[in-house]
Amino acid sequence: MKLQPKDETLSSLWKAWVSNQNEAALVQAAELGLTAAKLTLGLRLAQPKKKLQDIGNVVKATTFAKSNISLKKAAYWLEMAAKDGDRNAWFALGEIYRRPQFSGYSAAESDRCFDMAADLGHAQAQFRRGANLWRKREKIEEKVRGLQASYWIWQAHQQGVAEAKELLSKVLENVSNTDVNEWHSLATHAHRVLNHYAEHQLDQEWILMCHRFIIANQFHLSKAEMLLCEVSQLQHEHCIVVDIRHELPKILPRLIQIDTTQQRRSLLSAGKVFAGSEPEQEGNLRQRRYRFDRLSEWLNTTFSENHTAV
């Protein structure tokens, strides 16, 4: 594809900068609208200068903070790049608005810039946003405390931010080992019923309870959580939210990371079944407990190791 005259000029100017560090070419490319040039120029203007000082026989590098004038120029070019949708420009602007020597210092504006960078996928901005939300979780109004923070920290973790892993472990529970909880046996039997034993014509209520067993096993739920959780509302992109305060107000919600493919599959399968059922179909807690006892007994009897049909 043949470049337009302006594109050819920009390409030539950018090449001159990359190859020869020609600052005049960089400035001209920025003035002509090249986003990469705007970003690069803004970053160069924002970086502290280093000057070598000879103290006796020791040569020492001293860092001088950029003047307010330089920071204003940097902010100008970074804002131009940010308007083009450059996430690195938004992040750099966030840093500039936090510098005490910058006359436009504003913590609120800094946070806004970091949030914009996070929205555009900047990994460090995502971690910063998540950490900030986690620190302020007591003051933030949200249905389940820490949910917003966990999302952004998880996003940063997905992009390989090292600090995110440690913080994520404080925000989300991780229960990827499904072989060490009380539901393992019942969940295994429930899987066999749902996937391999079509001849067992189960009532819809029993099918729903089978899925509850499987979800409980995958996420180490308590019996109360297993019976009362709203299965169709459990899943968020990165975690499940187990909240049974509608029945037991003193039980605190739990945020549990979705960490395995099997966990996602179990949520997807259960979600489809519960989406096609009526909310009142499972009945109240007493009725669910009764169904739990009957189904547990039937599964253990039908699929015991000594059962000849297995």
CATH number of the domain that 78 lies in? 1.25.40.10
Residue burial 49-74, b: 16+ Cβ < 10 Å; e: rest? eeeeeeeeeeeeeeeeebeeebbebb
Q: Which helix (H) or strand (E) holds 67?
A: none
Q: Which residues contact 265 (CB under 8 A, 6 or more apart)?
A: none
Give the separation between CA 163 and CA 156, rounded to whole angstroms: 9
Range with the lowest mean pLDDT among 162-171, 208-217, 279-288?
A: 279-288
How many CB atoms are closer than 10 A to CB 121?
A: 11
Tokens of 276: 């096609």
Q: Supply the pLDDT for residue 61.
A: 40
* 40 and 167 in a common domain: yes
**What Cα–Cα distance (Å) separates residue 10 from each residue in 25, 34, 144, 219?**
9, 7, 50, 55
* 195 and 164 in a common domain: no
Residue 61 DSSP SS3: strand
Give the separation between CA 191 and CA 299, rounded to whole angstroms: 11
pLDDT tens-digit profile of 188-199? 999 988 887 555
Which residue, 171, 193, 228, sits at the end of a domain? Answer: 171
Which residue, 119, 143, 171, sits at the end of a domain? Answer: 171
Tokens of 82: 């940010």
Q: Provide the whole-model pTM.
A: 0.83
Residue 80: Cβ-neighbour burial (10 angstroms; 0-12, 13-18, 19+)? buried
Residue 91 corresponds to which amino acid?
F
Q: Supply the pLDDT for residue 108.
A: 95
Q: Supply the pLDDT for residue 58.
A: 47
Give the separation between CA 232 and CA 52, rounded to whole angstroms: 64
* 165 and 200 in a common domain: no
Does 160 reside within a domain?
yes
Q: Supply the pLDDT for residue 178.
A: 84
- Let me know the angle formed at the C-alpha of 192 by 186 and 195, rounded to the nearest 5 degrees: 135
State how many domains the chain has.
2
The boundaries of the domain holding residue 222 are: 184-302
pLDDT tens-digit profile of 286-298? 999 999 999 999 9
Q: What rounded mean pLDDT belongs to the chain?
A: 88
Helices (H), 159-281: 162-171, 184-196, 204-219, 223-228, 261-275
